[in-house]
Amino acid sequence: MDGPGVFGPAPDTLKIVVAGGFGAGKTTLVSALSEVEALHTEEEMTIAGTGVDHLEGVEGKTTTTVALDFGRITLDPTTVVYLFGTPGQRRFSHMWEELVEGALGAVVLADTRRLTDCFDVIDFFEARRVPFVVAVNCFDGHRSHRAEDVRVALDVADPVPVLLCDARDRDSVKEVVVELVELVLRLELSGA
């Protein structure tokens, strides 16, 4: 998106997708990182979701993202990052295709209470050759699993970074995004 704007050159824009299973903390991550009030398409969960949305491990969840979350970070006067959070349920996976178009890369947010929810998301990004990192959301600061154990459980290749983070903590989430950008740069330099 280069070119002149009304007030000078328009900044370069980068797009990062935040994906993961239902209840993993994607909305929280986008909110923690965004410099503006994040846009959310959260709706109350209803009886219609019974038997479809499995609440094991997230029993207190009362809302769900039905389209996307959106946030923005200005890195410097010439670069802006847009964050797009996906819905977590498989029935909304048609949104993933739209949201990933033009993305620099993705953050797969993992919840170790529901780790199998990550398989579809990881397969999606691998099939489309979208660079991604896995960020293990450590709820309440509790780090019950090592990153390498999660890597093995998810069968994620060694070049893919697997990090521990707290989706509520801006500094923690910044580290995840920095790791994603560094991964993309490494891949571009290596010609992969």
Q: State in words which class domain 4-190 has.
A: alpha beta
Q: How far apart are CA 99 and CA 51, in angstroms?
A: 27
Which residues of the chain are modeled with pLDDT < 50? Answer: 1-2
pTM for the structure as a whole: 0.80
Q: How far apart are CA 74 and CA 177, in angstroms?
A: 13
63-76: strand order across its sheet: 39-44, 63-76, 79-85, 12-20, 105-110, 132-137, 162-165
Question: pLDDT tens for residues 4-30?
Answer: 555 666 668 889 999 998 888 899 999
pLDDT of residue 1: 45
Domain borders along the chain are 4-190
